[in-house]
Amino acid sequence: MMPTRSTWDGPSVQTGTRLLADLRAEIARADAKAAVLAGVLSLANGALALLPAGHAQHTPPVAAVLWWAGAVCLVIALLSLLLAVVPRDGSTRWESGRPLTYFGDIHRAARTGELHAALAETGRDPLTAVLLALTEASRIAACKHLWIRRGLIAFAAAASLLSGSLLLA
């Protein structure tokens, strides 16, 4: 007995397609958020690099330690936000007989000369394709949000440490 194949207008495929569109929009929002924050942090890094230059001889050691710790946290925050916007490929590699789920799959299928067959497989069982795409997109969104969260935590630490160093200086 052949397994039941889904159709593009089936409720599961329609729901999965809507969720996939939401996930892709969330990924785009996360990229935009991280890019703006990375730009702001880059400006802050430039401004803060100039601060200790004129006051290095008169800075108390505690303030200098706080400033350097804050500067390190600011760099960590910037790197975390840059890692949030790094493009991510799928964690699974397309192979013959699997449906196409994103541009990397299409590229691999075309490179191996199996694009026509892969498109046919995707059309025969759209639910599998949608489920694979949902899994991959949710992994990407979660990873981006993790790096944004880490960047914001590092930025909060940097703001506290740098403010403390300026108060003590």
Gap between the Cα atoms of 26 and 34, Å rounded:
12
Q: What is the band of 7 on the pLDDT scale with cuts at 50, 70, 90?
A: confident
pLDDT > 70: percent of the chain: 89
pLDDT digits (tens, 9 = 90+) for 63-80: 889 988 998 999 999 999
3-state helix/strand/coil string of 142-157: HHHHHHHHHHHHHHHH
Under the banding of pLDDT at 50, 70 and 90, the label for residue 42 is: confident
Asked if residues 109 and 115 have their Cβ atoms less than 8 Å apart, the reply is yes
Alpha carbons 9 and 15: distance in angstroms, whole number: 10
Q: What mean pLDDT is predicted for residues 103-116?
A: 89
Domain definitions of the chain by residue range: 11-48+59-168
Could you tell me the pTM of the whole model?
Answer: 0.80
Q: CA 145 to CA 82: how far, in whole Å?
A: 12
